[in-house]
Chains A and B, each alone.
Chain A
Amino acid sequence: MKKRIPPARTAKPRRRSLALPGECTLAAAEGLKLRLMRLLTTVTAVTVDVRRVRRIDTASMQLLAVFVRDRATSGRAVRITGDSAAFAEACRLLGLGGLLGAPAAAAAG
């Protein structure tokens, strides 16, 4: 499998993005927080790509929710892209659909 290059480095200037790994679990939460922290103060909109997410737990969802909320309070946008059934289900069950805006495509899947 081709090794994936971290998107933060390949992103176009003035647009930063983050791709979530397949397994977003408690063990990986610390790492996710650090990656989100680096994007917290990025002035332009940040994209979070959830395409690869096969499994995600409440701890990771909580981090994302805080990230989106904190950016929103300082008027900075976050866009969720990609579709993942696991992510969509987590949004719906945890009542975070409004905040994280589950991608429409996932609702069907």
Chain B
Amino acid sequence: MSLDLSQFHEAFFAESVEALDSMEAALLKLDVGAPDPELINTVFRVAHSIKGGGATFGFNEITSFTHSLETLLEELRAQRMAVSAAISDLLLKSVDVMREMLRAVHAKQSIDAQRVADLQFDIELAIAQKSSDPPAPGSAPAPAARGSWSIRFRPYPQFFARGNDPLRMLRELATLGMLEVQADLSLLPALPELDPQACHSAWSMQLTGNVDEAAIREVFDWATGDCDLEIECLSGAGEKPEPIEQTRAAAAVLESPASATSSARSESQSAATGADSGSIRVSVEKIDELMNTVGELVITQSMLRQLGRGIEGAAADRLRSGLAQLERNVRELQESVMRVRMLPISFVFNRFPRMVRDLAQRLDKQIELKMSGEQTELDKTVLEKIGDPLMHLVRNSIDHGIERPALRAAAGKSAAGTVRLHACHRGGNIAVEVSDDGSGLDRERILAKARERGLIGASDAFSDDQVTELIFLPGFSTAAQTTDVSGRGVGLDVVRRNIKELGGKIEVQTDPGRGSRFTITLPLTLAIVDGQSVAVGRETYIVPLTSIIESLQLKAENVNRLSGRGEVFAFRGSYLPVIRLHEVFGVEPRVRKLHEGLVVVVEGDGRRAGLFVDDLLGQQQVVIKSLESNYGRVEGVSGATILGDGSVALILDLPGLIRLTALRAAA
């Protein structure tokens, strides 16, 4: 019987990618000169588990590369080599190369063999040169603990079922030196009670030879979390006993913060169900399916509520109280499912330390990145789309905001600039701030640049707020020269547009000479919207509440007709166009005269307009159903929802609608 390993590929890729993230995080925390051994261990474990996985699944390039990497890490772990800046760079590059290899193998594409080989060569060169690069004097003495080791190994009962065999491990141990083994059968029940699949044996061993603790640990690396392991040095260098394996195994089981979680994750290959038993991996499709079903349930429930209203008689009260309870339960269920989709923003934030480090190096600036509120949760779909805009803002801050150290010193600031990332919940929204203590936005330079680009007239006067708005205009870029960092033609206008598409907004505050702060406000989820339902003829449309400014009834004398702009009406000192929804959607309305119906003043993409409708119906939360995936994209409509009576209502996309009618009016 041969095992089909391909079913485990997905898990291997997913876990390896996560493991690489934790490896990268550990590397970034690694101090050159005085590295924390636990961090090196974390890095080592990641490389080791990827190597193991690669070997199991026959990804030979990955195995070969990680083998070299592991050798280098082994040298570092044993402190036979010092962690220099060059080594640290080499390790970070390895993360990139491994990521790329995993991506390529996953996508069944060919691996960039040259790049891999080059780096592998560099790694092997570094190992070969170690003799000429001895550890700095004064660093901690190498634990060259060779000699005799006492090892106590007690697998947990599920050990066999996880595909582990102690025999294999002891065989490997025996290759390291002289191995004496005593079996401990005291926990074995009598034969009739013995589950043949469960491991109840334990072993104590003495290993003598030219071997260090790391090598012993490596033998058991795949089984961490599935066994108790104590390794004690009996002789050699007179060290004190180090029963640290026990705590390591415990750390993998106990969910403890920071380093422990990252190390637990990196070991997840065999410990996936042991160490991480507090969580399970579920595919997004399953959650979306669940979400969908809950959405249907919400619709059914509101249908029942409408039916319940019309019922009279003795049982009606009981029915209605039952329905009220159903409504509460459904709402709770909906919220729970929504929470399942929520992920901490740290998933996005975690990419930044590496990026900031690389950028600072390239631009010759000193940057300190401070992050807070990483645990703030938001919907996965929002999370996926917020990464690029944030990346752009951070890049801008470093490239344009933070000055060079000399300039900063001249301005009386610390040489190292600070970029701050902060996330928090504000009402039903999430706010993400990117701020820096750099030079702030330069009003004059912005104005000059905007004039040069022909974005504004030569003599137009602007308030400070209006000036900062200019940087969001398409075609605007202030970098005096285009670097490869920012100013690649993708401007803040794209950032703003992306954020608008998510139903969010971006604002900027600046203090010349002291820095600037970009604040992005986003809805927590894209799946549900608070809507105002409006009636046009026999149709119902949903207007997102966030875009409504006011609803009013127009008087006939307030409406003017302008050539090229259609009908306009005066609203708070400016003239807004009237959008007759019945015309846009080709519906037969109940009223045609503006003063007989209602006008909903809305804002989309910074432009306002009045939607002419027959009537306002009510406000409710609606579950958004994608039109694009079920039918096709419709201009001016962002999606559809199913109402309580089972009918379908379109949800208006106001920026699109305003754009559309402006085009039609101009035509």
Q: Is B7 an interface residue, CB under 8 A from the partner? A: no
We find that the number of chain B residues with CB closer than 8 angstroms to chain A is 28
Question: Of the 9-residue stretches B189-197, B381-389, B652-660, which lies at the interface with chain A?
Answer: B189-197
Residue of A nearest to B200 (CB): A62
- Listed residue (A27, A29, A37, A56) with the most chain B CB atoms within 10 angstroms of its CB: A29
Whether A62 lies near B181 (C-beta < 8 A) is no
Which of A37, A59, A66, A93 touches B185 (beta carbons < 8 Å)?
A66
CB within 8 Å of B: which of A31-46? 32-33, 36-37, 40
CB within 8 Å of B: which of A61-97? 61-63, 65-67, 69-70, 89-90, 92-96
Whether A61 lies near B197 (C-beta < 8 A) is no
Whether A63 lies near B196 (C-beta < 8 A) is yes
Which of A37, A62, A89, A96 touches B199 (beta carbons < 8 Å)?
A62
Q: Is B174 an interface residue, CB under 8 A from the partner? A: yes
On chain B, the residues within 8 Å of A27 by CB distance are: 1
Which of A36, A61, A94, A99 touches B191 (beta carbons < 8 Å)?
A36
On chain A, the residues within 8 Å of B502 by CB distance are: none
On chain A, the residues within 8 Å of B197 by CB distance are: 26, 29-30, 59
Whether B194 lies near A33 (C-beta < 8 A) is yes
How many Å lie between the Cα of A30 and that of B195 in the bound state?
8
Whether A93 lies near B201 (C-beta < 8 A) is no
How many Å lie between the Cα of A33 and that of B194 in the bound state?
9
Whether A66 lies near B194 (C-beta < 8 A) is yes
Q: Is B160 an interface residue, CB under 8 A from the partner? A: yes
Interface of A is mostly: helix
Taken residue by residue from 146 to 168, chain B's Cβ proximity to chain A (1 for < 8 Å, 0 otherwise) reads as 00000000000000110001110
On chain B, the residues within 8 Å of A33 by CB distance are: 191, 194, 196
Whether A94 lies near B181 (C-beta < 8 A) is yes
How many Å lie between the Cα of A89 and that of B160 in the bound state?
19
- Listed residue (B180, B183, B192) with the most chain A CB atoms within 10 angstroms of its CB: B183
User: Given A59-B160, A65-B188, A95-B183, are A30 and B171 also a contact pair (CB < 8 Å)?
Assistant: no
On chain A, the residues within 8 Å of B181 by CB distance are: 92-95
Whether A57 lies near B194 (C-beta < 8 A) is no
Pick 19 A–B contacts, CB within 8 A, sort by A.
Answer: A26-B160, A26-B161, A29-B197, A36-B191, A40-B192, A56-B167, A59-B165, A62-B199, A70-B190, A94-B167, A94-B170, A94-B183, A95-B180, A95-B181, A95-B182, A95-B183, A95-B203, A95-B205, A96-B183
Binding site for B on A (CB under 8 A): 26-27, 29-30, 32-33, 36-37, 40, 56-59, 61-63, 65-67, 69-70, 89-90, 92-96, 99
